[in-house]
Chains A and B, each alone.
Chain A
């Protein structure tokens, strides 16, 4: 069974700073996908970024980038030039390449607070 661990229950940074959220996972699979989802107070889970395990290049989406270390089973999220709207719960998630019945396995989340 896969597990996802987020070791930072809460983080707080000033607006415009850079922040890194940590995530580690455990799996025996070789092909899989990793995701970061954002959940603002509206409850809507929004996909931030995803990484395919077979790709060595780290994914980037505008201010969001990841540091994917497959051997270490680490998948951290970096948010550059943080904005007030980035305040939310952030969940790291894993799915094996077959998708399907097991769905996503989530970490417990990190509550990120961006201070003005």
Chain B
């Protein structure tokens, strides 16, 4: 696609429910990143994918968070048993592979705003 697409744009859920957030990166971008932006805060790095592989999952806040990427394209971030502190904007970004021109320039989606009641 022409840009990074994220869905849903907004999600309101009840505490304890599971949510799934989707990211569709720019075609040809093999690197994909998830960030969390809490109200009034900067961006917190969650996880990085190179292709379908995530070499380091230590940035995920808890074991309720998981992420996967299939076919080297679409990625989903799943939050199980949501808590109120999970309320935030979840941003996805993609880029070319390290070593390729433009690899260091991340293009962001518009984010998914999650509100846990």
Binding site for B on A (CB under 8 A): 33, 35, 37, 42-47, 50, 91, 95, 97-109
Contacts and interface: CB of A to CB of B under 8 A. Distances in A.
Contacts of A100: 31, 48, 50, 98, 103
B98 A99 contact: yes
Interface string B26-37: 000001010100
A35 to B, nearest CB: 8
Nearest to B42: A108
A106 B48 contact: no
B103 A99 contact: yes
In this complex, the member of A33, A37, A97, A104 whose beta carbon has the largest number of chain B beta carbons within 10 angstroms is: A104
Contacts of B31: 99-100
Interface of B: 31, 33, 35, 41-43, 45, 48, 50, 55-56, 89, 91, 93, 95, 98-99, 103-111, 113
Nearest to A101: B48
A47 B108 CA distance: 9
B43 A99 contact: no
A47 B33 contact: no
A50 B103 CA distance: 13
A103 B106 contact: yes
A43 B95 contact: no
In this complex, the member of A35, A44, A99, A108 whose beta carbon has the largest number of chain B beta carbons within 10 angstroms is: A99
Contact of B104 (A42, A46, A91, A95): A95
A26 B110 CA distance: 29
Contact of B45 (A46, A50, A98, A103): A103
Nearest to B33: A103
24 contacts: A33-B104, A35-B105, A43-B110, A43-B113, A44-B108, A45-B93, A47-B105, A50-B104, A91-B42, A91-B43, A95-B104, A98-B98, A99-B31, A99-B98, A99-B99, A99-B104, A100-B50, A100-B98, A103-B48, A103-B93, A104-B33, A107-B42, A108-B42, A109-B42
A89 B75 CA distance: 27
A100 B106 CA distance: 10
Given A98-B98, A101-B56, A43 B48 contact: no
